[in-house]
Chains A and B, each alone.
Chain A
């Protein structure tokens, strides 16, 4: 979805390096998410933010940190990258729908990260 963009699209880094993955959205959504995708493990939630002042850990937050700089921007950082963080990373957004069950998530195109 072109409304959710991720940079870079591909990144190769070395063990121990600090890297940042960025996500921007023009959908005007309050909620943003970071997932990683690994073969056989599906999509696992790293961090999520329901508004600019809200940051929550997901199921696999160790080794990661996030920053919600604005409604439209949500960055994921690997403070000291390690090889098992090699994965495909997705950012997603959603808009809360009061009185209803969970809302649609809109995913970015992904960032493929390789940690050597």
Chain B
């Protein structure tokens, strides 16, 4: 259905290393995949998104890759910094009708100085 699975639930990486978070979905109609970052005490905020006609999108140190055949997409953060520590949520959506976004269960990323 519309569910999206997200792994891992927690991730710790050394400052300067890369972090990767992966999500899988099952609904073939999904064609929109956003990533939200939630800092402590705040609401989630969109950091990057990708649509199904694109395989990869980059914005400075963050990138998202999409494999439509395997129905999975990933968030890549390179050269991690302490301010990258947060909870990250993936999502999926579709532009068919008024379908709403479905979010993953979140990944708590901790950057170790």
Contact = CB atoms under 8 A, between A and B. Distances in A.
B98 to A, nearest CB: 6
Contacts of A33: 100
A90 interface: yes
Contact residues on A (Cβ < 8 Å of other chain), bracket? 20 to 34
Q: Which of A104, A105, A108 has the most CB of B within 10 A?
A: A105
Contact of A42 (B42, B99, B103): B103
B43 A1 contact: yes
Interface in B37-51: 41-46, 49, 51
Contacts of A1: 43, 45
A107 B89 CA distance: 13
A105 to B, nearest CB: 7
Nearest to A105: B101
Interface of A: 1, 4, 33, 35, 40-45, 48, 50, 58, 90, 92, 99-102, 104-105, 107-110
Interface of B: 6, 9, 31-32, 34, 36, 41-46, 49, 51-52, 89, 93-95, 98-106
Given A58-B100, A102-B93, A102-B101, 17 more contacts: A4-B43, A42-B104, A42-B106, A44-B103, A45-B101, A45-B102, A48-B100, A90-B43, A100-B51, A101-B51, A101-B52, A101-B94, A104-B46, A108-B43, A109-B41, A109-B42, A110-B42
